[in-house]
Structure 1
Amino acid sequence: MDEEFDAKVKDIIYLYLTAIERAQQGEHKISIDEMTGIQAIERLEKELPMRPGKVVRRECEYIRHGTQTLIENFNMANGKIIKPTCGDSRTESDFLLNIRHIIETDPHAQKWHRIMDCLNTHQSESLVAFGRRKRRLRYRPRY
Structure 2
Amino acid sequence: MRFDIFGKALRVLMPALCAALLLPACAAKETAEAPPGMGVTVNLRDVHRCSRISPEITVDQAPKGTDYFDVHLVEYTGDSQELLLGGGTWDSDGSGTIPEGGLTRHYRGPCPPSGQARDFAFVVAAMHRGSMQPLAVRLHRFTQE
TM-score band, normalised by shorter chain: under 0.3
Structure having the higher helix fraction is: 1
The normalised TM-score by structure 1 is 0.25
The normalised TM-score by structure 2 is 0.25
Larger radius of gyration: 2
